Structure 1
Amino acid sequence: MASGNVLRRTILAAALVVPVALPALAWAAQEAETTRFVREARQLEASPLQPGAQDMRRWLLNWTMETPDYQVIICPVLGLPETVDEETSIAPEILAQQMFGNLAYQITQGSDGDEVDRQLAGVESALKAYAVFLKADPALKIPGVDHLAALQKAGTLRAHVAAVLEEKCSGDAPRETLRLDADDAAPPVRGPFLGDFLRGTSVVYPMQVGQWHAVDERRYDDVLGGASIRFARPGDTSGWIDLYFYPVGLQEPAEQQTMAEGEREALLDARRELMASERDMSALQPLVVPVASLGAGGPARVDANALDFSYSSKGKAYSSVMIFAVDRMYAIKLRYSVEAATASRQQARREAEAFFRTMLSGVQVSSFGTCGRVPAADQLRLRAGCEGVDPLLPVVGEGQRELRFEYPAPHGAAAR
C-alpha cells in the first residue's frame, strides 16, 4: 500500500504540526481550491481505493504543505504501529486521512474552536477510510485503530481523544514538525492513472444549449481539477450555469454513487453558512439521462444524481441545483444558481435537468492511453470512451469547441 518513506517514519511522533497558509489568490480561485480540498478529502474517506486515489492524496498533501493560515496538529491517537510492512500496510494512508479530515473541518467550521473538535474530526475521517479498507481486505487490520472504532461505537471516542491530547499534545509535550516531500509521502504509483492509463482526452462540447451560451472557460492549475465552462443567457444576469469536467477513471455504479455523495457533502460544507438550515438541501435523487450507446449492446443511458437547495448571498436569495454524473471516465458536474425572484427551486431544477440532458447527449468525450487495453466488455459496460493507446484527432464541428487534456507520464514513471 505504501512505501517506506518520511510519512511512515513519523507515524509515532508525539505530535505532528503542519503549518499551512492560504495562497495569495483571488477570492474565487481560493474558494475553488478549498472547496476542492474538502470535496476530495470527503471522497477519499468514503472511497479510499477509488481510481485516482493516489493522485488525490498527492494533491491534498501538496496543498496541506504549501498552504500558512491553518495549523494541523496530528496527535498520536490512532494507535498506529511503530514499524509497518512496506508493501501492505495502510498506516500511512490512515494517517494522511487524519490530516485531511482535520483540515477539511477547519475549512468548513473555522479554526477558532476547540482543538478537541478538530482532532476528533480528523480521527473520525480516518476511521471512515479504515472501515472501507477493511471491507476490501480484512488482513489490513490495525489493532490500535480497531480500538478507536470500538470507542466510537461505545460513544467514548471524544473523551479518549481529549485525554490523549491533554497528555501528549499540550503544554510542554514534545512536538515534531512534519516535513514531507509530496513524492516521498504519497504511495508509489504502479501504472499511474494520469500519464499512463489515461494519457489524453478530448472533450468537444456545444457552445450553445437552448438559450444558454458558453461565455467563459477555465482550466485549473492541477490536472486533477480538470476544467469548467460557464454558460449564461444573453442579457440575463440573474443566473448562470457552471459545467465541470475532471478525470476519475473507470467507476463502478457503487463508486459513482459514493462520489456523488461526496460532492453533496462538499457542497453542503461550502454553502452551510449561507443556508437557512442544512436540512434545506434536498437528498440526492436519481436522474436518468438518455445518450447514444458507445457500441452495440452498450448502455444508452447515464445514471446521474441531482439535488436542489436555497441560499442567500449579499442580500439576495438564490435557487441552486447540482447534477453529478460519471461518463467516459470523467466526472461531469453541473452547478446552476439563479435569483429566487427569477426562478423557484422547482423551476431551477427543471431548467438544469433539461440543460444537462441536452448537453450530455451532445458532448463528445474520447480518451487514449493504456485504458485501451481494458477488456472490450468492461469498456462497453462502463462507457469508458477510450479509443486506443495512441493520440486521437477529434472532429470539431461548427458551433462546437474542444477542451483538450494531455497527461504526461509522472516524473520517474515511463508510460508503457
Structure 2
Amino acid sequence: MIQGRNRKARGILMGVACGLAALLASSHASAADTQAERPFLGGFLQESRILYPLTIGQWVARDEHLYEQAEAGASVRYQHGDLRDRWIDVYFYPAGIVPDERVRAMAQGTVDGIRALPGNDGLPAGELETSQIALSGDKDRRPATLYSAGFVLARDGTRYASAMTLLAKDLYYIKGRYSGEEAAHTPEDLHAELKDFTVQLVRESRLYSTGDCWMPPPIVQVAAPDPKAAGALLDISGDGAAQAVGFADRVEAVDARSSQAVIAQFMAYSASGRWIAGCNPPEDMTPDVPEGMRELRFEYRLPEGDADGPTPRLGSPRSGVG
C-alpha cells in the first residue's frame, strides 16, 4: 500500500509507478554541484526524443530538418493539403528551465527584429499577445504560456502577412512561423490560424529528455524504514510493514533494488518539488511511436578537449536555466 503525505503527487504518480520498476537506484551528486560542473548540452541534457503529429487538421508534415548546430534543434514544415504556397514552419530547440518572462522577451525580440528589417519600417505590426494552453494528460500540470503576434513584412519587393508563436515546454522551445502574400491573407487571419494550429501541436506532441536533469534521491538500504520519521513524504508498505519510505533527500528501503524502492524514489522526487517536467530516466528514451506520429532524436555529446568547434554553447558552463 502506498501512503503519501502529498495526495496530489500520489494521484499523479500512481499511473507511472509500474513503468519505473526497471530503474535501479544510484547515488548522485547534488543538482547544484553537477550543474555548476557540467555544460547545458551534453550535461544537463544528454538525449531528447520529440514525438510530433504528422497531421493537424488539414496540415500535413512534408519536410523535416535537423540543424548542424546542436542548439538549433530541428524544424518541421507543415503544408496545407495540396496548396504548395501555404505552409507553417515549426522549430524545436533546447531551452532548459526558462521563466515565462524570458520566453516573452525572446518573442518580443523576434517581433522587434522583424520590424527593424530594411523595408519593414512603418508596416502594420500587432502587439505581442499572451494566452494559456492547458496541457493534455495531466490536469494538475501548469498550463503552457503562449506568446504570439501577427504583422506585415516586406521581402524582395512583395508584402506578406505573417504570424509567429513561441512557448517553452518540457525543456524545449517550440516556435511557429506562418506567412502568405498580403494580397491573399491578413495578419489577423494568419495569427488566429497559427494559434489554433500551435495549441493542437503542443497538446499532441511529446517531449522526453534525460541527462543530469534527472537526479532522483539516492536509495539507502535500512533494516526497518520508519514511515513516521521526521521529513517522511510517503511510504510503501507490504506484509504489514513499511518497505520503503521517501524523503526529499533520500529513500530508505528494506531492499534498495526492489520495485517498492524505485517507485518510492520517483514519488519522493516529485513530491519534494525536485522533478523537472520533461526530464525522465534513461529507460524512457525509447518511447513507443504511435501511428500518425514521428520521432525526432537528439543526442548531445560533450565536446572533445577544450575546443567546441561549431557549437560554442556545448562547452559553456550553463546550468540548464536558459
Query: Smaller-chain TM-score range?
Result: 0.5 to 0.7
Correspondent of 1:334 among 173, 176, 197: 176
| Residue 396 (1) aligns with residue 289 (2) | yes
Residues 114, 153 of structure 2: 8 Å contact kept: no
Partner residue, 1:287: 131
Correspondent of 1:310 among 139, 152, 177: 152
Q: TM-score, normalised by structure 2?
A: 0.62
Partner residue, 2:122: 277
Following superposition, the deviation at residue 314 of structure 1 comes to 3.7
More contact order relative to length (CA 8 Å, sep ≥ 6): 2
Partner residue, 2:140: 297
2:96 alignment partner, SS class? coil
Correspondent of 1:346 among 184, 188, 198: 188
Residues 200, 391 of structure 1: 8 Å contact kept: no
For residues 222 and 371 of structure 1, what CA distance do their matches in structure 2 show?
21
2:118 alignment partner, SS class? helix
For residues 410 and 315 of structure 1, what CA distance do their matches in structure 2 show?
43
User: Structure 1: any 5+ residue segments left out of the alignment?
Assistant: 1-188
**Percentage identity across paired residues of the two chains:** 30
| Residues 327 and 230 of structure 1: CA distance in aligned 2, closer, same or farther (over 3 Å) | same
User: Structure 2: any 5+ residue segments left out of the alignment?
Assistant: 1-35, 217-268, 307-314, 316-322
Residues 115, 121 of structure 2: 8 Å contact kept: no
Residues 148, 164 of structure 2: 8 Å contact kept: yes
Note the 1:177-256 alignment, pairs <5 A: 190-256=37-103
2:86 alignment partner, SS class? strand
Q: TM-score, normalised by structure 1?
A: 0.49
For residues 196 and 107 of structure 2, what CA distance do their matches in structure 1 show?
19
For residues 273 and 303 of structure 2, what CA distance do their matches in structure 1 show?
26
Following superposition, the deviation at residue 343 of structure 1 comes to 2.1
Q: What do the CA deviations read for 1:303-349 (whole angstroms, capped 9, x no partner)?
A: 01001101233443311001010010101100000122332111111
Name the one with the larger helix percent. Answer: 1
For residues 214 and 66 of structure 2, what CA distance do their matches in structure 1 show?
26
Correspondent of 1:369 among 193, 211, 214: 211
Aligned residue pair count: 220
| Residues 253 and 314 of structure 1: CA distance in aligned 2, closer, same or farther (over 3 Å) | closer
Name the one with the larger strand percent. Answer: 2
For residues 266 and 389 of structure 1, what CA distance do their matches in structure 2 show?
39
For residues 150 and 51 of structure 2, what CA distance do their matches in structure 1 show?
28
For residues 78 and 105 of structure 2, what CA distance do their matches in structure 1 show?
27
- RMSD over aligned CA atoms reads 2.5
Partner residue, 1:112: none
2:109 alignment partner, SS class? helix
Residues 240, 336 of structure 1: 8 Å contact kept: yes
For residues 38 and 71 of structure 2, what CA distance do their matches in structure 1 show?
17
2:160 alignment partner, SS class? strand
For residues 218 and 274 of structure 1, what CA distance do their matches in structure 2 show?
29
Q: What do the CA deviations read for 1:46-84 (whole angstroms, capped 9, x no partner)?
A: xxxxxxxxxxxxxxxxxxxxxxxxxxxxxxxxxxxxxxx
For residues 175 and 160 of structure 2, what CA distance do their matches in structure 1 show?
19
Residues 238, 339 of structure 1: 8 Å contact kept: no
